[in-house]
Amino acid sequence: MQTQGRNIVTLRSGVPLFEPRALAFVQTRGQVSSPERGLPEGHAVEWAARTLNVTTDQALSTWFFDGAGRVAPGSASSARHRLTHSPRAPPARRLPSRLPNDAGSNGGGAHMAELSSSNRTFVLAERPKGEPDANTLRLVAVDVPTPGKGQLLLRNRYLSLDPYMRGRMSAAPSYAPPVELGAVMVGGTVATVETSDVPGFSVGDWVVAFGGWQDYVLSDGKGLINLGPNPENPSWALGVLGMPGLTAWAGLTQIGRPQAGETLVVAGASGPVGATVGQIGKLLGCHVVGIAGGSKKCGHVVDTLGFDACIDYKADGFADALKAAVPSGIDIYFENVGGAVLDAVLPRLNTSARIPVCGLISQYNATSLPPGPDRLNLLMGMILRKRMTLRGFIVFDDFGHLYGEFSKKMTEWVKNGDIQYREEVISGLEQAPAAFIGLLRGEAFGKRVIALTP
């Protein structure tokens, strides 16, 4: 238990339970216990542990309170369920594409489907120095926004967790403005339309939005993608059929320009981008070698995704194993990791190699330059001598105009089983901070998504 002013309990999920906006630690049936009412420190934890039949350590290590510090209605069993399932690998659950009580409206804002009385929202509390921690984001409860004329009220159902979010927490110059302190953390979402005063959107429709880390958001309809009332797998619009899929397809086809028989090496091969890059490469006739962390991920990359080989960058002898896997060198290297992986790849690159760069996840938490000699001149010399193409890209800025073509091709590939997709669904908005930190540590296995509603 941590003690610092009134923030006396910080959970492993990274959310402080005790803060001025959430004084009630335990509230059930109107009975409130809080330090303001003289409850000794730790007493509420012990009460919760007895109620849920768990140890106090378990009670402290897993979030089972809602945003106001309460055990949610009827939550003893659901809290116990969460305590017995790791937040990194909870049982996957699929929301129905049509939710109860959503039918029967063509808009106009007259129908509201089971709205909550408050809007749980994660705001940026401070800018992290290095890895985000328990103080980076703060969970607050605010009023559900009221839609006006020409607006939609959206309820976020799925939240995408993506590495780019780390950059948005920083004030350093970048391709997009940083999230302001106290502002809602940004993020792609799949949402349902709760009320509508916008033509073309009806209550019950599912939409792809940029709704952020919160339950509800207003929209004027611009930039939304309407998935209709009954999408088969709505969360996939945040993965293989959405931004990660477009990143993979556009980066490979427009910058990598693969030719049959060439060797393609993919970093982060078990992630949503890398997994898709490699499978597209196989469809286009390439010899594909993936790089991933751990034997389990590498087994998935070869056995399920169909790569020709996968090298475990965490294993001893990684550089030598990569060399053996690419006897003819590397024609295309799809980069989204950087660091030691890039160091092992550079000597294997062929003349006229192409290197699409969509990310450098190994460096996102760095606070200084990596140790060792300056390798910039080595890289620049290789680019010159081998006439290589190295290009970074921001997917919607550079290739957004190709979304229609991508969507048609990818939908067909997925439907036919040519592209396999792994999704890691974690239940509960309150789990998002810990899940995001784990993502940056390389703990995710597949596309990591938060399900905001049961």
Q: 250-271: per-residue pLDDT in tens?
A: 999 999 999 999 999 999 999 9
User: Given this model, what pLDDT does residue 453 score?
Assistant: 83
User: In terms of domains, do 385 and 321 share one?
Assistant: yes
434 and 402 co-located in one domain: no
Mean pLDDT along residues 120-137: 94
Asked whether residue 50 is domain-assigned, the answer is yes
The 3-state secondary structure of 10-54 reads: ECCCCCECCECCECCCEEECCEEECHHHCCCCCHHHHHHHHHHCC
**111 in any annotated domain:** no
Q: Per-residue pLDDT averaged across 86-113, rounded?
A: 35
Does residue 224 have a pLDDT over 90?
Answer: yes
Q: Which of 130, 142, 137 is nearest to 11 (CA)?
A: 137
Residue 105 lies in a domain: no
Q: What is the pLDDT of residue 193?
A: 98
User: Which CATH number goes with the domain that contains 427?
Assistant: 3.90.180.10
- The answer to whether residue 287 is domain-embedded is yes
Q: Which residues form the domain of 61?
A: 1-84
Task: State the CATH number of the domain containing residue 299.
Answer: 3.40.50.720
Say whether both 282 and 226 belong to one domain.
no
Closest of 203, 179, 183, 200 to residue 192, by C-alpha: 203
Span 334-356, pLDDT tens digits: 999 888 899 999 999 999 999 99
Q: Are residues 255 and 390 in the same domain?
A: yes
Q: Which range, of 18-27, 291-300, 310-319, averages the lowest pLDDT?
A: 18-27
**Mean per-residue pLDDT for 415-427?**
95
Give me 41's structure tokens: 């420190």
What does the alpha-carbon distance between residue 294 and residue 314 come to, in Å, rounded to a whole number? 6
Number of domains the chain is built from: 3
**pLDDT tens for each residue of 54-81:** 444 444 433 333 333 333 333 333 333 3
Are 314 and 232 in a shared domain? no
92 is a domain residue = no
Could you tell me if residue 52 is inside a domain?
Answer: yes
Which pLDDT belongs to residue 13? 33
Q: Are 155 and 114 in contact (CB under 8 A)?
A: no
214 plus 192 within the same structural domain: yes
Distance CA 142, CA 117 (A): 9
Query: Per-residue pLDDT averaged across 234-252, rounded?
Result: 96
Residues 276 and 393 in one domain: yes
290, part of any domain: yes
Question: Does residue 85 register a pLDDT over 50?
Answer: no
Same domain for 443 and 397, yes or no, is: no
Considering the domain architecture, whether residues 230 and 247 belong to the same structural domain is answered as no
Do 188 and 279 share a structural domain? Answer: no
Rounded to two decimals, the pTM is: 0.72
Q: Is residue 106 part of a domain?
A: no
Q: Do 32 and 59 sit in the same domain of this protein?
A: yes
Residues 232 and 249 reside in one and the same domain: no
